[in-house]
Every structure is written in C-alpha cells, then in structure tokens.
A = this chain, B = another copy of it.
Amino acid sequence: MDRLGGAGFLTDNRDTAPFTRDWLNNYGAPPLGVARPASTEDVAATVGIAQTHGLVVVPQGGNTGLNGGSVLGDGQQGIVLSLGRMNRILSIDTLGLTATVEAGVALGTLHEVLADQGLGFPLHLGSEGSAQIGGLVATNAGGSHAFRFGMMGDLVLGLEVVLSDGRVWNGLRSLVKDNAGYSLRRLFCGAEGTLGIVTKAVLRLRPAERARATALLALESLEDALEVGQRVRGDAGETLAALEFFPEAGLALALKHIPELRRPFETPYPFYLLAELATSVEAAPVDAVLETCLGHALEAGSVGDALIASNGTQRTAFWRLREEMPEGQRLEGPQLKHDVSVPVSSLPAFVAEAITAVNAVLPGVCVNPFGHLLDGNVHFNLSPPQGCSGFEGLEKGLTEAVYEATTRHQGSIAAEHGLGQAKVDLADRFRPTVERELMTRIKLALDPDGRLNRGKVVRA
C-alpha cells in the first residue's frame, strides 16, 4: 500500500475508527486498514493487492447508509476502501447538461457548485451533506424527488468502475441513448459495490428551478392523503416535485426533541402531506396551480387544514418538519427502521396491516410510517412502547412482521436504502428461488472470488 502514501492507508485504530462502524453504529468489524486512494489507478492497485492477499474490499462513500453496506461484516478479513479523497468535479457541460465527477464528491457540494451555474441535479435526500456520488450510485439512492426525476440510476449516464480483478471499465459516456450491448451501467447502479467499485460518474443535469410552491396539508387518514395526492397529481401534472406524508406520531417526536420546530396547525391531525410544485419555466404559474390543487382538494372535503408557504423561510420550516423526523426519532432512543415500498394503491392497506402485525408482536409499539407517497415508499420506523426502554428482544419478530406484510402486498423490503448486510438474509428468504439464483450467477460472473463487499446484496 506504499503507493497510497502515509495518509492513503490508515492502520492505526484511532485513524480507522471513523470508517469502521456504520452510521447507526449497528454494523462494522475492524478492517486491517483503510485505503484512501486519490485516483482510479490507486483504487485498481488497491484491489489488486487485496486480490494477492485474499482480502475482502469494502468500498465506502460518505458512510451514511443504514444497512451496514459500507462496513466490514463480522469475522471478515479485509480493508475498507474510502473514496472520499477522490472528490473532484472534473467537468460540467452546460450545453449537454452533464457533469463528470469523481466518486467522492458530496451531493451537497455538487448542488452548490451547480446552483452557481444555473443548473441543478434533481436528487435530494436528508443525508446529502455527507452522502457521496459513488455511494449514491452504488445504492441507487432515491429520496423525495425520485418519482418525478428518477432514482440515482436514472440520472447516471456513464460510469467508470474498478472491477474485482483490478481492471478498469471505462463506461464514462455522456449519452442519453446507448443500446450498444447490455446495460452494464444500470447493473452497477444499486449493486452496492459487490460487482465493481464506482470511481467516476457522468451525471445528467437539469436547468435550475425558477419557481417553487409548497403547501402543508392536515389530513384525517392515509386514505385521505392518497386521495388528495391523486388530485394534486392530476392538477399539478409535470410540475409536481414532491409529495411527502408523515403521521402525527413522527411529528410529535420531531417537536419533542428539536426545540426550534413549531407545530404547524393549532390541533394535531393523524397525517400530514407536504406538497411541492417546481418549475424551470419562467412563466409557469406554480403558485396559481397549487392554489387550484388545494381548492379542489378542499372542495372534495378530504383536507382538514392547509397552509401555503408564502416565502422561503416558511418553505424551509415545512421541510424541516418532515426531514427532522428521523433525527427526532433517533433522539427518542432505540428504534427499528424499515425502508419498504408497495404499489401506490396498496399503501393505506399495507400500513394498516403492518401496524396490526407489529402490535401483535409487541403491543403498544410506537409506529411512525412516513415517506414518499407516489412511490409507495414507506419508512416504517418503530420506537418502543410508551414507557419502555427497548423492544424486549423482539426486533427480529417485528421486522419480519413488517416484511411479511410488505411481501403480501407485492412490495419490496428494500425500496431506496439497499440491502447491505442487514437485509441480505431476509431478502434471500423473501425473493423467489429463481431470482436468488440469477443474482448469484451475476455475482459469480463478475466477482468469482467474492472479493468485493462480500456478504452484501446476495450470498454467493
């Protein structure tokens, strides 16, 4: 590892500590070292050395994942390969609307640089200050704007990837249309670094937004939220940029633990809906369209109360209510997170069924189901029952109850966070045999020794 230099390969426990455990401190065995390459060639050389010594290589971006995908599994001999030093924005094509970046660029940094040029990259998620492009590609990240603009894989035009044998695949194309063979790019997106290590990406940009309009709605039920959401989608059409739902349980946790947040409506309602319209057309009347949306929804009688943000400060305040919920729940104490999706029309039935199911396992368990309405994507997060300090050892049963309900509704047990090591055994249990076998064959075809992020996504 000499070629990486002193700062490029860390072995001292104090130095490796920040790279060893995952974001939630649930996963991560000590690595033999942390490689911090500064170039694709260094990444390739590191993988080559790992191959020589029979070591597992765990690629790591911002280490913001929730399923232990970016840290070593228990009992594994291996190294963490952090991409954080490869953090250059290599080029921005303002005519072709593409950016070529290294894997270690933080999403928030990219947003800032693009904003200065009147451009945007339409991926938005809570961890964007730390999350890095390489990790976002590897996990095919989603977020609040995915139903309009797509997930990370939809926003990637080209990739450079270091393969399990240390060779480099240069697929750094800036093409919207490319059908010259299998879509390797799409295969690497969401493969969680188990098929190759993403070192660079060509991203598809958008003209910056010129106007936004944001409302917060109070609703009696998730059924009503879905009905209202459908109306809003019908009226807002292509300008609809986000439609986020969250329950009073989650709002209460955020208000309790984050003092500067304020309750938006005088009285609590069972559910809330954050709707945002956005446009890059100068003359598009998104404010008027939003008023039409709300007018129709209020007429139909399914909205309890509604607020429109009249300025950026109010908009930010609405979004903070939604985005600080995970932090509020974290500060409350132990929690069990689930990131699932179901067909949109099954969302209310699924949530009701899952609530019943987890209560059968642990009566009184506190349920905070929130997420992205039109993706059918629910973060079905649990806190212990009132007055309890934990889940009484019932974590496994609770999680299985959630995933069984998900599977009954033809849903996915990993919507936007990936499988990591947390869900790989459960995924194997819930996926059809044929599917598991196809994935295993792909893993073996591209990484026959299981060198790359072993034990994630699929057991080979």
Contact = CB atoms under 8 A, between A and B. Distances in A.
A285 B62 CA distance: 43
Given A187-B186, A190-B183, A177 B439 contact: no
A439 B184 contact: yes
A374 B235 contact: no
Q: Which range holds the interface residue count of chain A?
A: 35 or more
How many identical chains are in the complex?
A: 2
A230 B97 CA distance: 10
A412 B442 contact: no
A412 B150 contact: no
A175 interface: yes
Contacts of A442: 182, 187, 442, 445-446
Interface in A398-444: 410-419, 423, 427, 430-432, 434-435, 438-439, 441-444
Contact of A238 (B230, B239, B282, B438): B239
Interface stretch (A74-82, A101-109, A339-347): A339-347
A285 B288 contact: no
Interface string A177-195: 1111111101101110001
Nearest to A234: B207
Interface string A262-303: 000000000000000001111111001100100000000000
A197 interface: no
B140 A176 contact: no
Contacts of A285: 283-285
Contacts of A457: 181-182
A64 interface: no
**Most B C-beta atoms less than 10 A away, residue of A283, A377, A443, A458:** A283
Given A237-B284, A442-B442, A445-B445, A431 B180 contact: yes
A168 interface: yes
Contacts of A319: none
Contacts of A377: 176-177
Contacts of A342: 175
Contact of A175 (B226, B292, B341, B441): B341
Nearest to A437: B167
20 contacts: A95-B230, A97-B344, A169-B432, A169-B434, A170-B432, A174-B344, A176-B341, A177-B377, A179-B414, A179-B415, A179-B418, A180-B414, A180-B427, A180-B430, A183-B187, A207-B237, A283-B288, A284-B285, A441-B445, A442-B446
